[in-house]
Each structure stands twice: as C-alpha cells, then as structure tokens.
Amino acid sequence: RKGQGTGLLKFWDVDAEGTEPATVIGLAPGASVIRVVWHDKLNQILASTSTGTLRLLYDPLISRNGALLTASREPRRADPLDQLLRSKDATPLVGSIMNPHALPMYRDARFNKRSKKDDPRKPKIDSGPGLDGQSASSKKFMEFAIQGREGSKSIKNQDSRAELLKYAEKTKDGKYLGASYAHNSGHEHLATKTLEEEQEEYEEKMQELLKN
C-alpha cells in the first residue's frame, strides 16, 4: 500500500542455483522503487522512487569517479550565523523600508497620506477663454495692429523686380563700382582658357625647356 512498507532493491547471482536474491537493500521507506540504472564505466547504480527522490549506490573499492568525487570531501563547517537564523528562538530580523519614490503598487499608504497632508494640492488657476488666455478677437486685433505699424516697410508688399531695377539704374554711374572693378572699368572678362588647357600648355613649355 501507499505510504506503507519499504521499497526494496534486490540483486540475484545468475550463476547461483535457486530464486533467492543474493542481496536485498531497502531504499525507499514508505515508497516504491520505480527505475534502476547501472552505469558501466562508473560502476554505480542510480534508483528513482515514487516520492521523486533518487538513491545512488556505489562501492568505494570498485567504483570510479561519479559520487566518489564528492563523497570524500569533508562537510562544510556550520556557520554560527546560519544556526542562529535557523533557531526557533531567534527573533526574525524584519523591518520596513521607506521609499518615497517607489512605484504606486509598492508605495506605503501611511507615507502617502502624510505627504498629502504636508503638501496639499494647489488649485489650478483658470487661464480664461480661448487658447492660453487669448481669444480669437484679441489675436486678430493684435495682428492688425502689427501690420499697421509695419506699413510699407514690410517686404511682403514690395515688388522684388522693381526694386532690383532701381539699383540697376543707379549702378550705371562709375561712382558705384568702387575700387574692386577699377582694373576692368566695370566690365566682366571671362577666362579664355580652361584649367585643363592651361595645364597642358604648362607641360608643353616644361618639355621644351628640358629639350633645350
């Protein structure tokens, strides 16, 4: 029955006569042995039980590696602090952490109530009708006043072509040219040769000098 008896692992000698097991080992008190696996290289036996636990069987004389790597180690010394924490008489070291900038789900309710009393929420002052306290009628009046102050100074109402023609008439006189155009009397002179042609002419002159 479940929870009663002990799960046994039995070994038989194939060369012996009879059906009696050579060795019987009790592995699982109150449970059953589900599966058994033998590792030929390690020479160790692993058995699983119905309670979810595992049992490892080995012989220190004929087994290799596996469980022997940890079985020879000495157990870790008990830490006095661990013993104190595990003791039933030890008082739990539990405290509360106050974090005013925590997320709403982790914020302390008492802290929130106290902060609301110390810093009450100020009412928002109404900005008045319109957008940002400015109505449509006042905005149109302001635009009209600005246009009246600008008057004819605004370049929006000027003809760009007519303004350029005014300066074209004035530049016909030599006094507007200045010293920058004194060498050509105000007339533009374009280059007669391109940069490539000048480069070729320079190379030809150098070759003639080398021949001479």
CA atoms within 13 A on the CB side of 97: 5
With a cut of 70, which residues of the chain have pLDDT below it? 1-3, 84-85, 87-95, 108-142, 144-157, 171-189, 212
SS3 of residue 126 by DSSP: coil
Residue 87's nearest CA partner among 98, 99, 78, 96 is 78
| pLDDT value for 25 | 84
Q: Structure tokens of 158?
A: 């000027």
Spatial distance between the Cα atoms of 186 and 180, rounded to a whole number of angstroms: 9
157 burial (CB, 10 Å; 0-12 / 13-18 / 19+) is exposed
